[in-house]
Structure 1
């Protein structure tokens, strides 16, 4: 029996959900999916330059798991770049600390100015 996959912590979600070759309409392209956890691994290791141990700790996974996530991400990105495919960013078992922009910001029970 396979263990259920743990939620992977990510620092942020990207503003763009698609990347594609410039000259071809999206409707004519083959898509590859890059899950949010794979994008986060690329961000932490390749962009921020963290070691695998540090990135694994930030994402809440083991060091071997971050290695597998990174290998899948690099393979997906290489496939898209070499073969002219679109990259769609979606999915993955993730937990984020980022609130949606329309989320109401409440001050809880204690408001400024006393009770009304």
Structure 2
């Protein structure tokens, strides 16, 4: 999760990407991006109950990553970057890429190709 949040900050040039002022506010910021439907699904799947401080969290649709692209960051955005990010920032830890899976992602293929060329 942490790498996904840092990666979002890097490619969208927004630091920090999820800027909450408290734990409660942090979850609201995340829900405004990933949507509350998947949050509720995650909580139900793992039988997790949120505290009363989250009662008015609201309802938010998931925002497409394209909504964060602008002239200042478009040079850092690719289909591979968005695909990687989308698979890193998941509520459900079972659906999230592992570090090993993330390193094998196509986003890093140019690095692997360059490394292989330097080793020959």
TM bucket normalised to smaller = under 0.3
TM-score (norm 2): 0.26
Relative CO higher for 1 or 2, CA cutoff 8 Å, sep ≥ 6? 1
Select the structure that is richer in strand.
Answer: 1
TM-score (norm 1): 0.27
